[in-house]
C-alpha cells in the first residue's frame, strides 16, 4: 500500500511540474486545429478542451496507478474534443489529425466499429496523438514532443447522447434499471439513424448540385428545374452578360455587377419552371430589352448601370408583350423591390416610355 | 446643393437638398466621406428635397454602399422624388438600396 501511494505521489508531482505545459497545449492545439479545419473546408460545431484535474487524476491513479511508469504514460491528461455536424466529417477531422500528429494507433480506438452488431451506444473516434518533432519543437522543452494527448471526434448527436447517457446512467453512481438502459440504447440507435440520414441528405444535395452544374455547363437547360441552387449555378455562367454589355454600350456606361438572385422569385412568379425558360426569355426579349434602355438612357449622360438592368428590362418586355400593362409592371416592381405605393407611378412611367417602342408593335 | 448631417441614437441621417450633378458632386464629396466613417452603422439618405441626380451622384451613393457593406452597416435611401426614383429604376439602382 505504501509503495502504491508513493508511486501515485510521484506521478502527481510529475503532473504538477508539467501542468503549465498541459495547459498551454490544451489552449494552443484546439486553436491550430480550427485553422486547419477551416483550410480543409470542414465545418465543426465546436472544439472543446480540458486538462484533467488533479483530483480526477488522483482517482484514476488510485484505481490503476501501477499501470503507469511515468506521467507520459497517461494519454488523456490533455483532452480535446472535436464535435462535427455530420458523421462523414468525423473521418475528415481524423484525416487532418493524421496529417498533423503522430498517432499512437495501439491506444487509439474507433468506438464506432467496436459495437456488437445488435447493440447501440456510445459512438466516437478517439485518437491518441503526439506532436512530432518535425512539425514543432522548442529547444529545451523535449516534453512537448513526449506528451500524448487524446482527441475525441464525434457528431453533435453522438455528443448529445453521450452527455445524456453520462448524466442519467453513469454520473449518478447508482446502477440504473435495465428498462432505462434499454431506452438509452434505443435512443442511441435512433440518433445513429438520424446522423446517417443527415449525411445521406447532404451527399444527395451535393450530387444534385454537381448534376445541375453539369447540365448548366452542357447547355441542357430545359432539364434543369428552376430553384435556388440551379439559379445560382446559372448566374455563374453570366446569362445576361451579352445583353448587359449591349445595353452599356449605348452610353459606354460602366457596369456595376450586382447579385441577381433577387430575380429568382420574380422568374418563378412569372411561371418559369426551368432554366431553359429563362434562356427562352433572353432569346425572345433581348432586342426589346435593348430598345427599352436605348429609349431610357440614350439621350441622357448616364454612364453607370447596375447589372440588374438586363434582367429587369427582359421582364418588363415580357410582361408588356403578355398584355400585363400597368398592373403587371406594378406587380413586377412589387416582387422585385418590395411592395410600395410608388411602384404604381413607376409602372405608369415605364408603360409611357415603352408604349411606342418598335417591339410593342411587332 | 447642400448636405446636412445629423446623428441620432441609432443612425446617421444626411439631408440632401438640391441637384446632385457633376459640379455639385465634388462639393458634397467631403460629406459623403464623413458618412463613410459612420457606415458601420445605419446611414439614412433623406432625398425628399433631392431634385436631380447624375451618374456622378449615383457613384457617390454606390461608394457609400460599398463601404457600408464592408463595414457591416446599412444604407437606407428615403423619400425619393419621382424624377430621381425614375433614374434609380432605369439604372438598376433601385435594387441596390433599401428604399423607404
In this structure, what CATH number is given to the domain that contains residue B19? 3.30.750.24
Cβ–Cβ contact A305 with B under 8 A: yes
Rounded to the nearest integer, the mean pLDDT of chain A is 88
The confidence score (pLDDT) of residue A174 equals 64
- Look at residue A72 and tell me whether its pLDDT is greater than 90: yes
pLDDT tens string A214-260: 887 787 888 889 999 889 988 988 999 999 999 999 999 999 999 99
Under DSSP, is residue B13 helix (H, G, I), strand (E, B) or coil?
A: strand
In this structure, of A93-107, A158-172, A229-243, B69-83, the range with the lowest mean pLDDT score is A158-172
Pairing of strands B98-99, B74-78: parallel
Between the alpha carbon of residue A109 and those of residues A73, A97, A116, A193, the distances in Å are 16, 14, 15, 22
CA dihedral sign, ordered A119, A124, A127, A128? negative
Compare A361 and A101 and report the one with higher pLDDT: A101
- Please answer yes or no on whether A346 and B85 come within 8 Å at the CB atom: yes
CA of A283 to nearest chain B CA: how many angstroms apart?
21
Residue A349: partners with Cβ closer than 8 Å, 6 or more residues away: B82, B86, B89
Q: How many domains does chain B have?
A: 1
- Please answer yes or no on whether B90 and A342 come within 8 Å at the CB atom: no
Cell of A100: 498533423
- Please answer yes or no on whether B55 and A301 come within 8 Å at the CB atom: yes
Q: How far apart are CA A14 and CA A2, in angstroms?
A: 19
Q: In sequence order, what are the beta bridge partners of B50?
A: B18
Measured at the CA of A158, the angle between CA A153 and CA A162, to 5 degrees, comes to 100
- The residue-averaged pLDDT of A119-128 equals 76
Closest residue of chain B to A313, computed from CA coordinates = B90
- The residue-averaged pLDDT of B78-100 equals 91
pLDDT tens string A17-45: 999 999 999 999 999 999 999 999 999 99
Q: How far apart are CA B73 and CA A145, in angstroms?
A: 47
State the ipTM, two decimals: 0.89
Q: How far apart are CA A200 and CA A251, in angstroms?
A: 52
For chain A, list the domains and their CATH numbers: 2-157 (3.30.460.10), 223-361 (no CATH)
Measured at the CA of A248, the angle between CA A300 and CA B35, to 5 degrees, comes to 75
- The residue-averaged pLDDT of A201-205 equals 87
- Look at residue A166 and tell me whether its pLDDT is greater than 80: no
The confidence score (pLDDT) of residue A1 equals 47
Which among B58, B80, B95 has CB closest to A304?
Answer: B58
User: CA dihedral in degrees (A166, A167, A173, A177; nearest 10)?
Assistant: -90
Q: How far apart are CA A175 and CA A249, in angstroms?
A: 81
- For residue B76, the enclosing domain spans 2-99
- Please answer yes or no on whether B92 and A336 come within 8 Å at the CB atom: no
Rounded to the nearest integer, the mean pLDDT of chain B is 93
- Please answer yes or no on whether A312 and B95 come within 8 Å at the CB atom: yes
Kind plus residue range of the DSSP H or E element containing A155:
strand A148-155
Residues of B with CB under 8 A from a CB of A: 54-55, 58-59, 62, 80, 82, 85-87, 89-96, 99
Amino acid at each position: 500500500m505504501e509503495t502504491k501511494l508513493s508511486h501515485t505521489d510521484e506521478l502527481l508531482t510529475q503532473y504538477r511540474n508539467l501542468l503549465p505545459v498541459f495547459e498551454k497545449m490544451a489552449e494552443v492545439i484546439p486553436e491550430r486545429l480550427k485553422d486547419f479545419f477551416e483550410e480543409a473546408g470542414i465545418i465543426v460545431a465546436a472544439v472543446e478542451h480540458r486538462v484533467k484535474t488533479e483530483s480526477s487524476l488522483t482517482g484514476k491513479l488510485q484505481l490503476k496507478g501501477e499501470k503507469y511508469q511515468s506521467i507520459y504514460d497517461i494519454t488523456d491528461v490533455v483532452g480535446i474534443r472535436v464535435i462535427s455536424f455530420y458523421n462523414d466529417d468525423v473521418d475528415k477531422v481524423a484525416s487532418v489529425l493524421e496529417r498533423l500528429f503522430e498517432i499512437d494507433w495501439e491506444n487509439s480506438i474507433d468506438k464506432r466499429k467496436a459495437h456488437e452488431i445488435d447493440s447501440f451506444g456510445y459512438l466516437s473516434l478517439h485518437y491518441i496523438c503526439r506532436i512530432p518533432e518535425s512539425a514543432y519543437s522548442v529547444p529545451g522543452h523535449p516534453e512537448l514532443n513526449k506528451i500524448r494527448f487524446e482527441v475525441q471526434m464525434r457528431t453533435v448527436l453522438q455528443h448529445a447522447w453521450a452527455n445524456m447517457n453520462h448524466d442519467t446512467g453513469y454520473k449518478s453512481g447508482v446502477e440504473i434499471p435495465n428498462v432505462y438502459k434499454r431506452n438509452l440504447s434505443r435512443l442511441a440507435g435512433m440518433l445513429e439513424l438520424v446522423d446517417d440520414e443527415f449525411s445521406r441528405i447532404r451527399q444527395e444535395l451535393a450530387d444534385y448540385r454537381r448534376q445541375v452544374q453539369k447540365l448548366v455547363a452542357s447547355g441542357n437547360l430545359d432539364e434543369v428545374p428552376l430553384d435556388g441552387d440551379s439559379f445560382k449555378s446559372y448566374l455563374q455562367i453570366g446569362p445576361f452578360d451579352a445583353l448587359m454589355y449591349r445595353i452599356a454600350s449605348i452610353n459606354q456606361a460602366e457596369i456595376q455587377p450586382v447579385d441577381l438572385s433577387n430575380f429568382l422569385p420574380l422568374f418563378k412568379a412569372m411561371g418559369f419552371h426551368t432554366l431553359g425558360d429563362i434562356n427562352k426569355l433572353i432569346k425572345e426579349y433581348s432586342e426589346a430589352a435593348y430598345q427599352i434602355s436605348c429609349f431610357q438612357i440614350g439621350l441622357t449622360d448616364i454612364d453607370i448601370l447596375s447589372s440588374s438592368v438586363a434582367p429587369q428590362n427582359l421582364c418588363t418586355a415580357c410582361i408588356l408583350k403578355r398584355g400585363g400593362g400597368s398592373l403587371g409592371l406594378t406587380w413586377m416592381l412589387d416582387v422585385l423591390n418590395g411592395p410600395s405605393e410608388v411602384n404604381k407611378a413607376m409602372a405608369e412611367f415605364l408603360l409611357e416610355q415603352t408604349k411606342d417602342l418598335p417591339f410593342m408593335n411587332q | 446643393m447642400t448636405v446636412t448631417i445629423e446623428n441620432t441614437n441609432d443612425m446617421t441621417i444626411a439631408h440632401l437638398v438640391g441637384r446632385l450633378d457633376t459640379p455639385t458632386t465634388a462639393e458634397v464629396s467631403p460629406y459623403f466621406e464623413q458618412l463613410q466613417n459612420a457606415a458601420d452603422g445605419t446611414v439614412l439618405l433623406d432625398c425628399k428635397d433631392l431634385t436631380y441626380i447624375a451618374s456622378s451622384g449615383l457613384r457617390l451613393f454606390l461608394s457609400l454602399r460599398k463601404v457600408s457593406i464592408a463595414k457591416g452597416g446599412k444604407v437606407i435611401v428615403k423619400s425619393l422624388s419621382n424624377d430621381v426614383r425614375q433614374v434609380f429604376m432605369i439604372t438598376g439602382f433601385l435594387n441596390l438600396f433599401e428604399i423607404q
